[in-house]
Amino acid sequence: MSDDIDNKLEKAKGHAKEAVGDLTDNEKLEREGRRDRAAGEAKEKVERAKDKVEEGIDAVKDELGRRDR
């Protein structure tokens, strides 16, 4: 759960930097914001994929456990 919160915070930080950079015409800050936001989104996708793999492993273990009985 902590990773999920960290990823959302990173995305939010990116959005904020991007907005401030846009308002102040600071292209460097805008780029940093886009990079932070993209990193947060990528990490969220990795976490979702990891969760799906773990669910699949658990399902296989459950099925194998039933077959052994």
Share of the chain above pLDDT 70, in %: 96
| Helix axes of 27-68 and 2-23: crossing angle, nearest 10 degrees | 160
Phi, psi of 26 (to 5 degrees): -100, 95
Q: Is the pLDDT of residue 20 over 80?
A: yes
The count of structural domains within the chain is: 1
Please name which of 7, 18, 12 lies closest in space to residue 50, comparing C-alpha atoms.
7
Distance of alpha carbon 14 from alpha carbon 57, whole angstroms: 34
pLDDT of residue 65: 82
Query: Residue 48: which domain range?
Result: 2-68
Cα dihedral: 15, 20, 22, 23 (round 10)? 140
The distance from CA 9 to its chain's CA centroid, rounded to whole angstroms, is 10
Q: Is the pLDDT of residue 28 over 70?
A: yes
